[in-house]
C-alpha cells in the first residue's frame, strides 16, 4: 500500500493536474455542444466501446479486445467523416468562447448607432414595400468563403445602397448582403448562404429564412430577414429564428451584440480589479 502511495505521488505533478483540467474543459465544451444533436447518440456508442475495450483486456478476452479496439478506431474515423461540418462548427464555437476571445473591435458608439440606424431605415422601407432582404452582420467568425460567392463592394454603410441592392429584378436582389459593423463597411452583396440542416423546420419557411438560419448554425453572425410575402421582419442568431420582430427591438439587439462594455475589455478588467484593490486599501487606512 505504501509503495502504491509513493507511486501515485511520483505520478501526480502540477503539470499533470493542469493537463487533466485542460482535457476536462475541452471534453465538457464538446459535450455541451453535441447535447441534443444527432451526434450525441454516436458519442454514447463510442463511450461504451471505450469502456468495454479495457474491461475485455482485463478479463483476458483477447479476441474480443481486438474486435472492440478495431471497432472503436473505425467508428472514430466514421464519425469524423460523417460529422465533419459539426466538428467544424464546434471548433468555431470554441474559438468564439469568451474565455479565449477579445477579437471584436469596439466601434465608436456614435458611429455604431449611426450605422445601425441606416440599416434599420433600409429594413423599414423594404418591409413597408414588401421587398425581400437578407442582411448578414458579421461578428468574430470570418465569412470570407461566403463573400467569395458574391460581389465584393467594400462600401460605406448606406440605407440608399442597401435598398438599391434589394430592389426587385436587380442582379443582386436574391443574394445576401454581408456587413461588418466594426469596420463600418458593406463587404459584399449577392452572396450565397448555406441552407439550414435542421430537419425539424416547418414547411412554411422559405429559402431566405432557411439560408438565414444556415449561416448562424455555422457562425456567430446575426442575420436580418425581410419577408417578400408579408414584409415582416425576422432575425436569426445561433441557429434560432425569431419571427415578426419590432424594428426598435431589432435595433436594440444589434447594439447590444456589437457594443463591448468597458468591463469586457482588458483595460476595463484591470481598472475593475484595481478599483477593488484601491477600495480595500482605503478601508484599511480609514
Q: What is the pLDDT of residues 133-161, one digit of tens each?
A: 999 999 888 888 889 899 999 899 999 99
Indicate whether this model's pTM tops 0.85: no
pLDDT (tens digit per residue) in 58-102 = 888 888 778 877 877 777 677 666 666 656 655 655 555 544 444
* Cα distances (angstroms) measured from residue 53 to each of 49, 63, 68, 69, 70: 6, 11, 6, 6, 10
pLDDT (tens digit per residue) in 155-170 = 999 999 999 999 888 8
What angle, 0 to 180 degrees and rounded to 10, lies between the N-to-C axes of helices 62-82 and 39-58?
160
Residue 116 predicted with pLDDT over 80: yes
Select the highest-mean-pLDDT range: 38-42, 79-83, 250-254, 275-279.
250-254
pLDDT (tens digit per residue) in 12-31 = 777 778 888 888 887 777 77
Q: Three-class SS of residue 96?
A: coil
Q: Is residue 140 within 8 Å of residue 92, measured between CB atoms?
A: no
Structural domains for the chain? 2-95 (no CATH), 109-259 (3.40.1700.10)
Identify the residue with better confidence: 61 or 39.
Answer: 61
pLDDT of residue 48: 80
d(Cα 45, Cα 277) in Å, to the nearest integer? 51
**What sign has the CA pseudo-torsion 11, 12, 14, 15?**
positive
pLDDT (tens digit per residue) in 256-269 = 888 754 444 434 44
> How big, in percent rounded to 5, are the helix, strand and coil portions of the chain?
55, 15, 30
Strand partners, 185: 156, 180
Amino acid at each position: 500500500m505504501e509503495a502504491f502511495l509513493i507511486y501515485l505521488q511520483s505520478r501526480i505533478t502540477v503539470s499533470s493536474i493542469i493537463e487533466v483540467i485542460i482535457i476536462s474543459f475541452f471534453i465538457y465544451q464538446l459535450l455541451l455542444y453535441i447535447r441534443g444533436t444527432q451526434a450525441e447518440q454516436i458519442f454514447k456508442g463510442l463511450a461504451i466501446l471505450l469502456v468495454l475495450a479495457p474491461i475485455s483486456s482485463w478479463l483476458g478476452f483477447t479476441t474480443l479486445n481486438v474486435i472492440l479496439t478495431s471497432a472503436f478506431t473505425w467508428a472514430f474515423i466514421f464519425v469524423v467523416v460523417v460529422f465533419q461540418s459539426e466538428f467544424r462548427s464546434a471548433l468555431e464555437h470554441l474559438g468564439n468562447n469568451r474565455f479565449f476571445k477579445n477579437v471584436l473591435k469596439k466601434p465608436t458608439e456614435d458611429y455604431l448607432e449611426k450605422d445601425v440606424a441606416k440599416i434599420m431605415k433600409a429594413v423599414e422601407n423594404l418591409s413597408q414595400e414588401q421587398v425581400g432582404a437578407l442582411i448578414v452582420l458579421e461578428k468574430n467568425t470570418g465569412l470570407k468563403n461566403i463573400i467569395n460567392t458574391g460581389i465584393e463592394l467594400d462600401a460605406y454603410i448606406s440605407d440608399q445602397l442597401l435598398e438599391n441592392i434589394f430592389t426587385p429584378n436587380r442582379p443582386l436582389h436574391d443574394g445576401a448582403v454581408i456587413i461588418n459593423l466594426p469596420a463600418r463597411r458593406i463587404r459584399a452583396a449577392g452572396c450565397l448562404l448555406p441552407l439550414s440542416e435542421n430537419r425539424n423546420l416547418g414547411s412554411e419557411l422559405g429559402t431566405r429564412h432557411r439560408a438565414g438560419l444556415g449561416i448562424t448554425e455555422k457562425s456567430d453572425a446575426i442575420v436580418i430577414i425581410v419577408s417578400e410575402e408579408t414584409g415582416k421582419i425576422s432575425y436569426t442568431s445561433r441557429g434560432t429564428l425569431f419571427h415578426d420582430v419590432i424594428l426598435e427591438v431589432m435595433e436594440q439587439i444589434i447594439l447590444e451584440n456589437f457594443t463591448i462594455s468597458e468591463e469586457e475589455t482588458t483595460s476595463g478588467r484591470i481598472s475593475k480589479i484595481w478599483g477593488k484593490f484601491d477600495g480595500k486599501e482605503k478601508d484599511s487606512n480609514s
